[in-house]
Amino acid sequence: MSENELLKKFLKDAFEKGLIEAVMAPAATQDSYTYALITKKEDVDKLTPIAPVMQWNGADMLRRITKLKKAERRMLAILRPCETRTFKELVKFNQINPENIIVLTYDCPGTIHARNYKYDKVPVEELIEEIKKGGKSDKIRDSCKVCEYPAPIPGVGDIALGLVNAKEPVFFSLSDIGKEFLAAMGIQEGSRNADEWIKMHRERREKWLEEERITGGRKGIEEFLSSCLNCHNCKDMCPICFCKECFFEDHSVFDYESSKYFNWADDKDGIRLPTDKTLFHIGRLIHMGTSCIGCGLCQQACPMDIPLYRLFGIVGNDLQKVFDYKPGVNDDIPPVMDFREDELHEFEGLLGGEE
């Protein structure tokens, strides 16, 4: 039985036992995968629980379902590890009401770029076989190759399916809710050791953080973003960019008299237009950098194929180190929600001001 068939059986059994009333999980479309919400056991076969494409962040879908009110039915959501961490982060921001939601996650084989998959439909079984052998496919997205947390984390989500270093897939709990759920399903919890597999990811990530850093200061950033269309697709796909009103969508904010443009051109020996392009990306980094999960959907959404994860992933990692914060990993309050009067003294005076 394949991993997806195993999960479908798990879902059908959960419906039969009355443990759930709805499921949110990936489902195939003509050329990709999207999330589907089902409320009947008979519809489980429409799902592909472990899908080879991540077109949306599943936590963002749960935000849409529960933002105004808790889930009115007991729902099980199947999320990748990065989506599970996003779920936890959005709960902290009061963007998701977690009541009545059970999260099941798994050792993640990574996902194919949605645009690439449209023309080369790599079966998910191929990706899963790679991680069973302790590796990972070279066809997956850049952010997946350097994922820091490719496996389930205790306390993040409720139920896990272990695939790495296991002769057969094993279910195990991540929370008390998950433990109770598996007991009610009559499933004996198993275990597997994914330490070496996780270590491989983190070593690859450390090398990437060092080698792919954008250098050259402001000029380096402007060159990196030179082909940006200012379409804001990256913002729209980012699950952490959830503001109802966005400063960068009010284009009147950037309306200036012509004299401003001429003066800027005088001072800088010419300017690039539009002038707000780099400001948009830097502004976004300031807002979401400390909570960047690393899903990489910003890069997948870019129509110009700018490797945006090099910007948001690396700078986000730097910001998180400054605040000693790991988004979606524990119950720590996000830095943007937690003002501390006595902190960050090591940065005093860097801009030439008084210490």
Coil vs helix vs strand at 312: helix
**Neighbour tally for 214: CB within 10 Å:** 15
112: nearest Cα among 296, 293, 239, 294 = 296
Quick one: 266 and 204 in the same domain?
A: no
SS3 103: strand
Q: Determine the pLDDT at residue 251.
A: 67
Backbone dihedral angles phi then psi of residue 292, each to the nearest 5 degrees: -65, 120
* Domain assignment present for 352: no
Range of the domain at 151: 3-211
Predicted TM-score (pTM) of the model is 0.91
- Predicted confidence at residue 95, as pLDDT, reads 95
Specify whether 70 is located in the same domain as 203: yes
Q: Is residue 132 part of a domain?
A: yes
Residue 232 located in a structural domain: yes
User: Do 225 and 198 fall into the same domain?
Assistant: no
Question: What is the token pair recorded at 30?
Answer: 């003509």
Tokens found for residue 344: 């960050």
Percent helix, strand and coil across the chain, each to the nearest 5: 45, 10, 45
Q: Are residues 199 and 232 in the same domain?
A: no
Q: 238: burial class by Cβ within 10 Å (0-12, 13-18, 19+)?
A: buried
97/231 same-domain check: no
Whether residue 169 is found in the same domain as residue 286: no
Last residue of a domain, one of 211, 231, 262: 211
Q: Is 36 within a domain?
A: yes
353 inside domain: no
**Average pLDDT per run of 10 along the chain, which is 355 residues long?**
96 98 96 96 97 96 94 97 97 96 97 94 93 90 96 97 92 97 97 93 95 90 93 94 78 80 87 82 90 96 96 93 93 86 68 50
Let me know whether 117 and 261 are in one domain. Answer: no
For residues 194 and 151, the answer to whether their CB atoms sit within 8 Å is: yes
Assigned domain for 102 exists = yes
Residue finishing a domain among 160, 189, 211: 211
Q: What is the pLDDT of residue 273?
A: 80
Q: Which residues of 54-73 are buried (b: 16+ CB within 10 A; e: fewer)?
A: bbbbbbbbbbebbeeeebee
Which domain-ending residue is among 161, 180, 211? 211
- 75 and 26, same structural domain? yes
Q: What pLDDT is stored for residue 355 in this prediction?
A: 44
Provide the phi-psi class of 296: left if phi over 0, else alpha when psi is between -120 and 50, else beta. Answer: left
Q: What is the pLDDT of residue 347?
A: 66
Residue 25's beta-bridge partner residues? 36
Q: What angle do CA 17, 151, 148 make, to 5 degrees?
A: 150
Please report whether residue 164 resides in a domain.
yes
Separation CA 78–CA 47 (nearest Å)? 10
Q: Are strands 159-162 and 170-173 parallel, antiparallel or unpaired?
A: antiparallel
Angle at which helices 309-322 and 277-288 cross, to 10°:
40
Q: How many domains does the chain have?
A: 2
What is the rounded CA–CA span in Å between residue 27 and residue 24? 9
Contact 238, 283 (CB under 8 A): no
Look up residue 223 and give its two tokens: 């060159």
Contacts of 202 (CB under 8 A, 6+ apart): 148
Residue at 211: amino acid letter? E
Same domain, 174 and 199: yes
In a domain, 201, yes or no: yes
For residue 270, give Cα distances in angstroms to 220, 234, 262, 275, 331: 17, 28, 9, 11, 48
- How far apart, in whole angstroms, are the C-alpha atoms of residue 168 and residue 48? 19
Does residue 285 share a domain with residue 175?
A: no
Same domain, 9 and 132: yes
Same domain? 201 vs 241:
no
Name residue, tokens 């954008």.
214
